[in-house]
Structure 1
Amino acid sequence: MSAEFRDFQTLKSTGRILRLREKDFCFLCPFLFKGRFLSREETRDFDTGRNFPFWGITFRDAGDMKFPPETGIQQENRKNLYTVLGLDGPGAGYPLRVKLVHSKKVFYCSQKKGTFPENLGEGDGIICSPDSGIPFVTCADCMPVYVYDVVNSNRAVFHSGWRGTGIVSTGIALMKEKTTPENLAVVIGPHIRDCCYRVDKNRAEYFAGNFTPSAVKFRDGNYYLSLLEANLFLLAQSGIPEENILVFDECTSCNPLWGSFRREGPENFTRMAAFIL
């Protein structure tokens, strides 16, 4: 059985869209495990009875979610996100965030919420228990990768751009200290695909040599990079069953529904928030 590929149109009926002021704000969707979607409401006999979480991503129309915010608009966008997700009231979930540096550094938060600062520091991945908080990263062409342990309910979000490719292996190795790869459900979120991600020869050779030759496409005299193929290769190396992998089959550069550094340009691109709720 291979990984499940679903685009936004086919996933809409499985997940849900949250709105703010009559605009689509973010999309929430269940994880895929053993070839089926984990309903949030179903009762589990292999766990603590907690509801299954959703993985989520904001739309471009929700605005730039840069963290730490540098402008009032970015700060307001973040505030709106927490309002939409119900994180702005007493007893609400505790957001955990990092300042992205395109690295393979992962924070592991296993204690109760409030033990860690909301801003964990510089890094590109967060693993946490359900009692620790809600992990957030941002992305805009880079790949968000979501991981959920169906047995102990740990969850993780990783920001995997070309420099940080390999962070998935780092993070899953940490998670495997308390579980087995067969218990992990993985979602590869929207990112720039090889239809649009043109790179130079050096970067192409780096990916072909360090990950898999299938990560590089050559057409019309140009090299194109597949972050997807590189990360599917790493997930296979980590022992993740293909039936536990959902690929959100969307190119951020092609589809204006999503934020894209390459399409929008370096001065005005929209960082999307990726999280597990």
Structure 2
Amino acid sequence: MFKDKGKYFQIEEFEKYEVDAFFTTKEIGDIKNFLGNTEENKKNFFEKFGVKDKIVVFAKQGHTDKIIDIKEDTKDYFYENVDGFITKRKNIILITKHADCLPIYFYDTKNFVIGICHSGWKGTFQEIGIRALELMEKNYNSKREDVLVGVGIGISCKNYEVGEEFYENFKNKFSEDLVNKTFIKINGKWHFDNLFFNIENLIKNGILKENLIYCEECTYGNKRFHSFRRDKSKDRNIGIIYFK
């Protein structure tokens, strides 16, 4: 489960494997104070989590389906138009930025690979979560039945009104069953359940139900989180994952 620790929510099931996976609230502070800023600011920020001597990897996200593997010989730690990462490196912190879009966290319990991606509706439409799994399979021989996946926190279905064209695009690409489960009409308007779309699609693509952890907290409805749809602000929550 996602355990509320005030300044952040932590995925307990990952912690059992000596992996920390967090989603921050407004209480943690503004990430603009450390992203792309001095190394000292990054150090001070992550000391709030008790983390020292790790390298921060992040991106200027572009709602893509692009996932980068941070290998032992990787020297670049900031990327353009990238929306997710995987790594086996113990000295790396992977982060993604969110303000209604979902973070999806991954941990291969057999091959010891972590990952995270940013899945707004564009990422979900492009199945970025599946792209992350495919890269884990390709580079580390991961098996989907061994992968633990955490999904959330993002905007809820009731607060995520979308248009007819949005609905038709999903309807034309995905199965009728999946679309019917994750689109509902409220007062004659389509609403999209990004959380459960990703959950159902991950299950359809080989992730075991017992290995899925999710949180139904809503970034729009809960003012403890930043929400672009509610506030039209550049402030962001962050998803964080790293080996302890």
**Does the 8 Å contact 1:145/1:188 carry over to 2?**
yes
Where does residue 58 of structure 1 map in the other structure? 24
Q: Does 1:258 align with 2:217?
A: no
| 1:231 Cα deviation from its structure 2 partner | 0.9
1:206 is paired with a residue whose SS is: helix
Match of 1:121 among 68, 76, 80: 80
Tell me how far 1:94 sits from its aligned partner. Answer: 1.5
Indicate the SS of the match to 1:176.
helix
Q: What is the CA-CA distance between 1:230 and the residue it aligns to?
A: 2.0
Q: Tell me the residue number matched to 2:149.
A: 186
Instruction: Name the SS of the counterpart of 1:195 in structure 2.
Output: helix
Taking the aligned partners of 1:66 and 1:234, their CA distance within structure 2 comes to: 33
Which amino acid is the alignment partner of residue 108 of structure 1? Answer: D
Change (3 A) 1:184 1:205: same
- Does 1:245 pair with 2:227? no
- How far the C-alpha of 1:65 sits from its partner, in A, is 2.2
Q: How far did 1:151 drift?
A: 0.9
Q: Would the aligned equivalents of 1:149 and 1:185 in 2 still touch at CA under 8 Å?
A: yes
Distance 1:131-1:263 versus aligned 2 partners, 3 A rule? same
TM-score calculated relative to the size of structure 2: 0.86
Do residues 206 (structure 1) and 206 (structure 2) align? no
Conserved 8 A contact 2:70-2:89? no
Matches within 5 A, 1:1-277: 11-12=3-4, 17=5, 24-31=6-13, 40=16, 52-66=18-32, 69=35, 80-87=44-51, 89=52, 92-111=53-72, 115-131=74-90, 133-165=92-124, 166-177=127-138, 178-211=141-174, 212-213=178-179, 214-265=181-232, 268-277=233-242
CA distance in 1, matches of 2:144, 2:113: 13
| 1:125-176 Cα shifts (integer Å, max 9, x gaps) | 0001133512111101000000101111100000000111110011111112
Distance 1:77 1:228, change over 3 A: farther
What amino acid maps onto 1:56 in structure 2? F
AA aligned opposite 2:108: D
Match of 1:255, as an amino acid? N
SS in 2 for 1:152: coil
User: What's the offset of the Cα at 1:80?
Assistant: 4.4
Secondary structure of 2:89's aligned partner = coil
The amino acid of 1:240's aligned partner reads I
Shift in Å, 1:62? 2.4
Cα separation, 2, equivalents of 1:39 and 1:131: 15
Label 1:138 to 1:128 Cα distance change in 2 as closer, same or farther (>3 A).
same
What whole-Å deviation, never above 9, does each CA across 1:90-140 have from its counterpart, x for those lacking one?
Answer: xx121111110010000012316xx32221332000001133512111101
Output the TM-score relative to the length of structure 1: 0.76
The verdict on how the C-alpha distance between 1:69 and 1:54 changes in structure 2, with shifts beyond 3 A counting, is closer
What is the distance in 2 between the residues matched to 1:67 and 1:233? 36
Gaps of 5+ in 1: 1-5, 18-23, 32-37, 41-50
CA distance in 2, matches of 1:239, 1:68: 37
1:50-88 residue CA offsets vs partner (Å, 9 max, x unmatched): x52021011123233259858x8x99985543221344x
Structure 2 portions without partners, runs of 5+? none
Identity %: 27
SS in 2 for 1:151: coil
Which residue identity does 1:154 align to in structure 2?
V
